[in-house]
Chains A and B, each alone.
Chain A
Amino acid sequence: MTQLRRMRPMLGTFVEVGACGPAAADAIEAAFASLEGAQAWWSFHAPESELSRLNLAAGARVRLRPQTLRLLRLAVAVMRRSESAFDCTVGGLLVRQGVLPDHGGLVPLPRGRVDDIEIGAGWARLRRPVRLTLDGIAKGYAVDRAIAALRRAGATAGSINAGGDLRVFGELSLPVQRRELDGRFTSLGALRDAAVASSRVAAPGATRDPSFPAQLVAPIGQHAQPGVWTVLARSAWRADALTKVAANTPAPHRDALVRSLGGCLLATPPLELAA
């Protein structure tokens, strides 16, 4: 099945949207519009985003749109169930390291606990001066919303790839390759009606490549395991978040924890897939 495909610079990366069927062109526009919303609401960088309003509210309740509250609930759930292997409270640490921008005010705590986030009916607040970053989950969640937008707009099948957070639906098999630490591409297989996401953890001592600015924060006293961590799941937010769980969980528990949270970790090099 042929897909109509477009690509735009968005969400800090390159986002490709593909769609099939007579409504493909309009569906792609609808998906991009949905992604624009995600960019405006969940960006740490934009001082007026919903996320920044919550971060800068000094503990006050902040009214948030339902989509933002749902994303926060998902982030809190993964953080709790992974015992902070996925941690969305490390924004303060990344600000101190200069990775994320400082929007002023009292210097935030480097990192927090899951209980620092209180979510009510239509609002949320931060109990301590921590900074949330949704970078480990929001891109995937934005992909899920954009897939829903494609469907609503009448695409019969389609795919979205937001800088490696990839989801496909309908009668499409999408060949997927993984960019390894050394830059080689290896084949992962053909993705159907599911999502994959990857996170890169450079080897210790490797110089940082500004082309790949994302930085993964390990739990206190631990180091993220070097490698490219790829998770297969039914939704992109889950695949996205579980790559952080995989990178931050020691080998004996890694596969089981990712599976118990609804994903499947793809080994390096990939299992059962012929080269």
Chain B
Amino acid sequence: MSTRDWSLFLLPVAAIAVPAHAIDYLTVAQAQTLLVPGAKSFVEQPLKLNDEQRERIKAASGVRQRWDEQKVWRAERDGALQAWFIIDEVIGKHEFITYAAAISPDGHVLGVEIMSYRETHGGQIREAEWRKKLVGKTLADPFKLDEDVPNISGATLSCRNVLDGVKRLLVVHKLFLARA
């Protein structure tokens, strides 16, 4: 085993310079179909939140509600509510992630899919800089397949921020969607 020629398994390549590691996985429509396959229509119903409502979300979830509008869709089948489909973002020290969650009418997480994943080139990056990088990138961008996006090995990045985000969405559901 110690005589194996390892060069067969890791081939030299020209380094690809990436300012930030970024991959788009799903469009809104693809995420909807994947997370609520039984639904026939998705009706957009954005949730507007004032300061007092955002405070209540933070108090109940322990997680800050950063934005005053949450993108929410009713997933319906023949007029009956199947699930709530919510798009959310996570801005961490190293990562900027857009994800979708489906929550059942009785408040259970049906699934979570990462829609786009962006990781910094190191060091902290301010929210405004992230936003600037994303100018022109909308949630409706077509699914991009890029074979040249490298995979990253290294220390394992925690998904804690996304799990906290999902916890916050469950509170949003309980406070504002459960009786809607």
What is the interface of chain A, defined by CB distance below 8 A to chain B? 1-10, 12-14, 16, 139, 159, 161, 163-166, 173-180, 182-194, 196-200, 209-214, 228, 230, 232, 234, 256, 259-260, 262, 264, 266, 272-275
By a CB distance below 8 angstroms, the chain A residues around B16 are 175, 177, 187
Min Cβ gap B150→A in Å is 4
The answer to whether residues A166 and B122 also contact, given A173-B11, A187-B16 and a CB cut-off of 8 A, is no
22 contacts between A and B (CB under 8 A): A6-B113, A7-B114, A7-B117, A13-B156, A161-B153, A175-B148, A175-B150, A175-B151, A177-B18, A178-B152, A185-B21, A189-B10, A189-B11, A190-B13, A192-B10, A192-B11, A214-B155, A214-B156, A232-B6, A259-B1, A273-B13, A274-B15
With beta carbons under 8 angstroms apart, the residue of A2, A161, A198 that contacts B147 is A2
With beta carbons under 8 angstroms apart, the residue of A12, A191, A194, A275 that contacts B15 is A275
Interface size on B, residues (CB 8 A): 49
Count of A-B contacts judged by CB separation below 8 Å: 184
Complex: chain A residue closest to B34, CB-CB = A6
B102-123 CB contact bits vs A (8 Å, 1 = yes)?
Answer: 0000000000111001001111
Complex: chain A residue closest to B30, CB-CB = A6
Min Cβ gap A187→B in Å is 4
By a CB distance below 8 angstroms, the chain A residues around B26 are 6
Complex: chain B residue closest to A209, CB-CB = B93
In Å, the complex CA distance between A76 and B43 comes to: 54
Residue contact B145 to A10, C-beta cutoff 8 Å: no
In Å, the complex CA distance between A187 and B16 comes to: 7
Complex: chain A residue closest to B6, CB-CB = A264
Residue contact B154 to A211, C-beta cutoff 8 Å: no
Given contacts A2-B145, A161-B152, A190-B10, 15 further A-B contacts (CB under 8 A): A5-B23, A6-B25, A7-B113, A8-B113, A12-B156, A13-B158, A164-B153, A165-B156, A176-B10, A176-B151, A179-B154, A183-B123, A184-B122, A188-B10, A213-B160
